[in-house]
Amino acid sequence: MTGTIFLQIFLFIDVFIIGGLAVIALQHAVAHFKQPKPLANDAQVPIVADPLPQTVKENLVHASQTQFQAVLNQAAGSLQQDLKTTSDNINNLVLRLASEIVSNELERYREELSKLHNQAVGDLSGIKQQMVAHETELKAKVAQEYEAEKQRLIKQIDTKLADAVSSFLLETLKHNVDLGSQSTYLIDTLEEHKAEFAEEVTVED
Amino acid sequence: MKIDLNDWVSSPQELKSLLMGVRSYAHWYAQTTVKMKVTKDMSQTAPAVSQAVTDLLNTWFSQTPPSQTGLDELLALLQKFESTAPRITITLAAAAPESLKKQLTNWCRQNIDPNLLVDYRFSSTILGGMVIRHRSHVYDWSFKRQIMANRANFPEVLRRV
């Protein structure tokens, strides 16, 4: 922004200088080509005898014209040279400013791009963290459900197995009872529960 | 006359059998006594009673001659014993042999109550052990109950095998 204002000011100054030079050149050109007005009262001017011969006059006029033409050419050349230099400077300056502007814009663009990139990386990192957290949560949940299902199946298998073994024992032992071999066990059982059994019988009787 | 009925009966069935035998004999004795007074017929045959009843009557009248009063006293003693003696029911997995019955009855009378009457039953569904019932209270010490009560431990036991 500052560079643009500086360029505008510089251009304005250059235009002003060029305008001044153009006005001076125009005044010289007008003065050279304009015929002097004849005096209104020639009759009143005293006729002075020309001291210079006509040839000298012509030579002087011719020399003056030549010298004026040379000065004019020199001024025009100088002006053209100045204009060319100014134009080159302006071009260089414009080029430099344009380069600077482009460079600044590119730098700004790069910074914006970097900022967006960082923001995108941050967002992506956050998303990645959320995904990791969600994945961890899902894994934990799945593991918990898996463990619960496993325990349920183990319990179910244990129950079925216990039922099967119980049924097998019931069916098997039903036909293989030997009370003779149980007499010791029976007496031991009575001895084991003697206290509560005796209390039950004696209290109620 | 004092006798210990515990020597004669160990179960309610035996007591009932004794009671019925003695009652039958007392009934026959009352009729025979009246008949003898009327007909002087001494050839009245005594009813057939069990050996246990015969032994009981012989023991009861070992020191005094048989009489209606003595029989009535014996009947009263048996009825009183029947109404007062505690009784339990022991259920075994099979029909118990006499030796086992005697062994269990002796233990109960020595450790629980000397007048205890023990009724024996069997049920193959209990598999082993015994179930004792006294009035409304049941002690289930059967194999079946133990197996069913500990069936949750089967998987644990099987894992250790």
B127 neighbourhood in chain A, CB within 8 Å: 169-170, 173-174, 177
Tell me, yes or no, whether B61 and B77 share the same domain: yes
A200 neighbourhood in chain B, CB within 8 Å: 134, 137
Q: How many domains does chain A have?
A: 1
Domain for residue B124, yes or no? yes
Domain for residue B156, yes or no? no
Structural domain containing residue A166: 152-204
Tell me, yes or no, whether B126 and B64 share the same domain: no
Residue A144 above 90 pLDDT? yes
Tell me, yes or no, whether B79 and B93 share the same domain: no
Domain for residue A26, yes or no? no
Spatial contact of B5 and B81, defined as CB atoms under 8 Å apart: yes
Beta strands across the sheet bearing B117-122:
B117-122, B87-92, B129-134, B137-142
Least confident stretch, A174-183, B35-44, B88-97: A174-183
Domain for residue A119, yes or no? no
What pLDDT shows up at residue A194? Answer: 85
Interchain CB distance below 8 Å, B151 and A166: yes
Domain for residue A176, yes or no? yes
Domain for residue B105, yes or no? yes
- Which of B84, B99, B126 is the endpoint of a domain? B84
Q: How many domains does chain B have?
A: 2
- Which of B84, B107, B135 is the endpoint of a domain? B84
CA separation for the pair A153, A158 (Å, rounded)? 8
ipTM: 0.72
- Which of B27, B60, B84 is the endpoint of a domain? B84
Higher model confidence: residue B3 or residue B117? B117
Interchain CB distance below 8 Å, A162 and B155: yes
Domain for residue A165, yes or no? yes
Structural domain containing residue B60: 5-84
Domain for residue A195, yes or no? yes
Spatial contact of A205 and B86, defined as CB atoms under 8 Å apart: yes
What pLDDT shows up at residue A149? Answer: 95
Mutation choice for A interface testing from B101, B132, B153 by most A CBs within 10 A:
B132
**pLDDT, tens only, B94-138:** 888 888 888 888 888 888 888 888 899 988 888 788 899 988 889
**pTM score above 0.80:** no
Rg of chain B over CA atoms, in angstroms?
23
